[in-house]
Chain A
């Protein structure tokens, strides 16, 4: 009897302690909400609030995708229900597992993947991007078999990572106590703002000049894909095949000396496959959508607000014409129309 009481008290104590630890962890975890340049937390919190099986198009990719794809613009123009699960420095592993996670709740018909991360980004990083950004992308993923699998893969790839640090975020973030702000304590207020459905709006313009398009008659050199990224890219391709999801590969407008090499690598990759690849840096397409690098890009890598409109509108047309995605009226996009329109003022 005595032992039993002690045991029950022990369970109660562990319960209270766990609750306190959860509270502390939720304060310590970094938050990237709508007021941040890259609102990663809002993107994923918002995703879980979407009604089941209501999203037709999913966008994946790095910050290039976050800036370039506008789900609200897509809905406003074509009535297509899209959501962007892209995030800052999203490597292919992250894209793959977020796609898997997405499939637990949604049945998208098309996945649009930005291809920048298929090529070298950070040479000294195993997964091609920084640990900080990978973690940021998984912090707000709900715990499930998918997350367990993702964490296991991350820890296998990067030996400095530990499963414990994902289970107990304080192991990673405990030194944040020095930089906590009021926002860390009232995050429930800010986390409610997920109107943009994964888009980051960039309204500044400092892309510099000397932008070069990819010309059809240029040198047809190629560059190597990042090995680790390619591994997970193939997994994305296979997953889409298995689930009968169309995969659209996109490169958004940016200034890079390697644009052309990457373009030809991708063109070669999709040859003979049932996958479409479009590159907005390619002369024909660039001119077709009337893109103006100096006015439409926010910086060398990222598309600005006006650029996102042009890119998204074109993708919208493509989704309708080639992938036969139908227009739908959905309250979830209707109620955020006004918010989006105000951004344009």
Chain B
């Protein structure tokens, strides 16, 4: 059962019906039952592991609060408890994810990998933020264990986030929500849009991306550029699709999940990119790693070290292997270069009398940011760091410009018609993104008359049904970020 399977939606419909049938006070119980059912269906073998981690982190939260309030040596004891709690919660993540890699690195022996509990990378961060916020006295611990489990196992977001904070969620999760027609329909709109992104763009683009990355030795120059560009689109739309579907499903219960993206490829700098990409992770890294390390308060050198450490953690979090660490560090280096060169660039623009609002300046900055991000994505997607660097080297052989016009691109797995559908879908994504900047698009559709409104919904559903990449004959791609 995944977020794009029929079984999942049968399950969601049953959950929603139960939710609104139950009295307000007990509605949270139906979601909790749904969470448990979902977890058992997707990964029953790791449920006990998840449950034990939940009990442990919940107990530590209560202990931390008690120690914080009543301990004589409050400062030291709470720090020790918090430190111990974070280490003990993080250890399972490291063991499950990295033990095989580390043993292989030091001994050369290949170890059998552990079964990965679903959402471990995401719920571990949620648990840490929950404990740190208790320590910071931002909120009290949740004394009801079942309610705590409801927060860390919320099924629409457990597989791929976003990493919601306890404070954002508790009110919505625990106090039953009234049925609101507009909110409900907006949820359905989000689910449909999520399917569009996944089947019309991400999974179509993946066919070309896989062809080139799987045969990286054969493809050089513009092929690698194409693969990089399409992978950038694939990763974005795939992740956005999952988050959009999560938001949509949550909205059916009247729950709002935070946005995880804000048009990241419109960023004018790498710093700006990280404010727009995977917002819940970026803000988590900022609040629980970068700022506690000192942020930018302790001078330039310290700031750069903190940046490298934070992005190093980001790389390690994303996956196992040198390529992820390199990818994280590369983003750290980008930001340091940006920081160092910013005064020089500003001076050049000032001399040329080009202001900050100048469109050419903005688009140039966007272009440079996009290329930098794309280069990093190539490393991220490649099977290993060595292959990624090899591909980047191959990318420099840009003499094969003709492949862009002579039909060679059509031999990469997508026919001419499929390619046209992909381009049109990307076009629709751009138009929708631009419109979203100007109007609240979902609200706008909701305010249309019933014929137009239903016409739009039915057209989009049928379009996905006919032109989407899914079903038998295709290897339905799991959501990429679910693998992290």
Contact = CB atoms under 8 A, between A and B. Distances in A.
A175 B473 contact: yes
A24 B181 contact: no
B456 to A, nearest CB: 12
A100 to B, nearest CB: 25
Nearest to B459: A20
Given A160-B472, A165-B471, A171-B470, A20 B454 contact: no
B181 A2 contact: yes
Contact of A21 (B462, B470, B474): B462
Given A17-B461, A21-B462, A24-B465, A171 B472 contact: yes
A16 B468 contact: no
A172 B454 contact: no
Contacts of B468: 174
A164 B472 CA distance: 10
Contacts of A170: 465-466, 471
Contacts of B470: 171, 174
A51 interface: no
A321 B34 CA distance: 66
Nearest to A171: B471
A16 B454 contact: yes
Given A17-B458, A28-B466, A6 B471 contact: no
A165 B458 contact: no
Contacts, number: 49
Nearest to B20: A3
Interface residues of B, number: 21
Contacts of B466: 24, 28, 170, 174, 177
Contacts of B104: none
Interface string A160-184: 1110110010111011011000000
Contacts of A174: 465-468, 470-471
Summarize B's interface: helix, strand, loop or mixed.
Answer: helix
A16 B458 CA distance: 9
Interface string B460-484: 0110011110111110000000000
Contacts of B184: 6
B206 to A, nearest CB: 15
B418 interface: yes
Contacts of A175: 471, 473-474
A122 interface: no
Contacts of B418: 178
A21 B179 contact: no
Given A3-B179, A28-B466, A175-B473, 8 more contacts: A21-B462, A168-B6, A171-B471, A174-B466, A174-B471, A175-B471, A177-B467, A178-B418
26 contacts: A3-B179, A6-B181, A6-B184, A13-B457, A16-B454, A16-B458, A20-B462, A24-B462, A24-B465, A24-B466, A28-B466, A160-B472, A164-B6, A168-B6, A170-B465, A170-B466, A170-B471, A171-B471, A171-B472, A172-B472, A174-B466, A174-B467, A175-B471, A175-B473, A177-B466, A178-B417
Interface of B: 6, 179, 181, 184, 415, 417-418, 454, 457-458, 461-462, 465-468, 470-474
Interface of A: 2-3, 6, 13, 16-17, 20-21, 24, 28, 160-162, 164-165, 168, 170-172, 174-175, 177-178
